[in-house]
């Protein structure tokens, strides 16, 4: 049996589209599941789209996501001679031809076709009019040329797509595709077929937008006399209004999601479910990469477009923030803390690892993105300001509020430093409150936070530590 081999073949554009990450992930999952080889190939033959540093940022994102490969990165731009050789071979076989048409002529032709509402297809001027001698003369004179694929007339090209079943295309609607450009670089179509063949790729798993290109590839395989791989076209990614996922309606670059503090686990989990599900009756929604490898299967990839629902991503991210360890959460959130003024302006003690980990332990259940750390609990970091009336539970008098605060002060003062644990603080305060929880806990909580809403007074007192807690209660008592 031939070894299963897949590839991820991005064109580096300077950022990684979320759809591109999905293609990489599905190839990776399929490869791992089937103990196949995974090749990373860089399709960088479009010189006009060259972006400096694009390859490095692509590799960084794959590494961040934990998507690894077995071979590559192989750059197409370093294989130009190979594509030239194959393009000439097709000319010799009569399946491709030289085209010397100048861009101006092609432009004019296209305009005419547009005006007449005809498909924009090359009119075969060079194929119909040039003699062998003229072609040779042009080549000798170094005239600029392209090599075009000679698409057969009125034939049906068929292939089996693993997800979509039998696909049929009429060749009359297909342009005589340029295979080799005038700058000597191959087009995507030539390079992709040559490389998938030379690299022994057995499954081509890619986005649906490449489906219309596949008949051209099928013809190329046929003319070269090569066996075509299996084709798997993944469903389009859609905006919530079912238009094609675009920048205009939200971020499409993985880098933007990283910057906003989405965890790799959440992104991978979310992207995996954009077009795939683990099967009927499966209700599990949170998957680790290992679980995805175990469960992934092409037969559960959908045909229909997959809607990118940011609310779902936020939910998954919040679930993952709850799942990772506090040490991990601290490490991964550190860069976000450093961007916040309230953090930078606080004391060394409050900037410490130990303190931040306590804050995170309290906050983690309410965070949907790492960029939000500390934002709704700034009272942990600086002095707090609030109005006296905030301290009173319902219509309690100043005197009652003062008494309540004194009671809390008494309870908390009696807890020693070593016993200052969340469990103890909660237990002692609840015992003291008896059935009048609001009366005791509201003044305490507002005295510690200065906020209408916040985590419980037990959690806040635990994070702040005994000294700071006592200090804040005393300040509130003085206000009354």
In the complex, the residues that contact ligand GLU under the rule CB under 6 A are 9-11, 43, 188, 192, 206, 210
Answer yes or no: 247 catalytic: yes
Under a CB-based contact definition with an 8 Å cutoff, are residues 44 and 79 in contact? no
Which pair of structure tokens corresponds to residue 477?
């008592």
Which class for 307: exposed (0-12), middle (13-18), buried (19 or more C-beta within 10 A)?
middle
> Any idea what DSSP says for residue 435?
T
Query: Could you give the residue ranges of the DSSP H alpha helices within 324-387?
Result: 326-337, 341-344, 348-351, 353-363
Backbone phi and psi for residue 98, each to the nearest 5 degrees, phi listed first: -80, 140
Taking the least distance from each CB to ligand GLU, the nearer of 229 and 261 is 229
Which pair of structure tokens corresponds to residue 27?
């190839």
Q: Of 93, 111, 244, 247, which one is the catalytic site residue?
A: 247
Taking the least distance from each CB to ligand GLU, the nearer of 11 and 113 is 11
CA distance 246 to 248: 5
State in angstroms the smallest separation of the CB of 255 from ligand GLU.
17
Taking the least distance from each CB to ligand GLU, the nearer of 43 and 265 is 43
Under a CB-based contact definition with an 8 Å cutoff, are residues 228 and 336 in contact? no
Strand-pairing partners, residue 165, are 161
State in angstroms the smallest separation of the CB of 188 from ligand GLU.
6
Which pair of structure tokens corresponds to residue 332?
């991964």
Taking the least distance from each CB to ligand GLU, the nearer of 188 and 379 is 188
Under a CB-based contact definition with an 8 Å cutoff, are residues 58 and 17 in contact? no
Taking the least distance from each CB to ligand GLU, the nearer of 10 and 450 is 10
CA distance 11 to 5: 20
Where in the sequence numbering do the catalytic residues fall?
247
């Amino acid at each position: 049996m031939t070894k299963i081999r897949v590839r991820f073949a991005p064109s580096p554009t300077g950022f990684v589209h979320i759809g591109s990450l999905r293609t990489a992930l599905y190839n990776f999952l399929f490869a791992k599941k089937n103990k196949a080889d995974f090749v990373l190939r860089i399709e960088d033959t479009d010189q006009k789209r060259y972006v400096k540093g694009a390859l490095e940022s692509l590799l960084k994102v794959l590494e961040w996501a934990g998507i690894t490969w077995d071979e590559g990165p192989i750059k197409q731009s370093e294989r130009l001679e190979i594509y030239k050789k194959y393009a000439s071979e097709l000319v010799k076989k009569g399946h491709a031809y030289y085209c010397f048409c100048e861009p101006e002529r092609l432009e004019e032709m296209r305009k005419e076709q547009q005006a007449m509402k005809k498909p924009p297809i090359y009119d075969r001027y060079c194929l119909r009019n040039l003699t062998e001698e003229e072609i040779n003369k042009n080549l000798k004179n170094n005239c600029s040329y392209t090599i075009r694929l000679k698409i057969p007339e009125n034939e049906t090209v068929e292939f089996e797509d693993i997800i979509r079943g039998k696909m049929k295309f009429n060749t009359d609607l297909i342009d005589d595709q340029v295979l080799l450009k005038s700058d000597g670089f191959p087009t995507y179509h030539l390079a992709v077929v040559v490389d998938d063949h030379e690299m022994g790729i057995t499954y081509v798993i890619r986005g649906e937008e490449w489906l219309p290109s596949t008949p051209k590839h099928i013809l190329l395989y046929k003319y070269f006399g090569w066996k075509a791989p299996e084709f798997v076209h993944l469903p389009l990614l859609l905006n919530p209004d079912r238009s094609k996922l675009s920048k205009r309606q939200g971020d499409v670059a993985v880098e933007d999601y990283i910057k906003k503090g989405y965890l790799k686990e959440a992104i991978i989990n979310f992207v995996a479910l954009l077009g795939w599900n683990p099967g009927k009756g499966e209700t599990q929604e949170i998957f680790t990469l290992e679980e995805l490898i175990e469960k992934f299967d092409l037969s559960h990839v959908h045909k229909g477009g997959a809607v990118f629902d940011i609310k779902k991503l936020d939910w998954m991210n919040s679930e993952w923030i709850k799942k990772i360890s506090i040490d991990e959460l601290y490490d991964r959130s550190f860069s976000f803390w450093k961007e916040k003024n309230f953090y930078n302006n606080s004391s060394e003690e409050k900037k410490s690892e130990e303190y931040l980990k306590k804050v995170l332990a309290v906050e983690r259940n309410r965070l949907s993105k790492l960029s939000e750390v500390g934002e709704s609990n700034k009272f942990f970091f600086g002095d707090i300001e609030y109005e006296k009336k905030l301290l009173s539970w319902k219509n309690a008098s100043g005197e009652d509020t003062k008494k309540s605060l004194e009671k809390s002060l008494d309870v908390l003062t009696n807890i020693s430093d070593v016993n200052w644990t969340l469990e103890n603080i909660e237990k002692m305060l609840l015992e003291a409150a008896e059935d009048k929880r609001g009366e005791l806990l509201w003044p305490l909580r507002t005295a510690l936070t200065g906020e209408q809403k916040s985590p419980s007074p037990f959690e806040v007192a635990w994070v702040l530590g005994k000294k700071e807690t006592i200090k804040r209660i005393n300040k509130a008592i003085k206000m009354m």
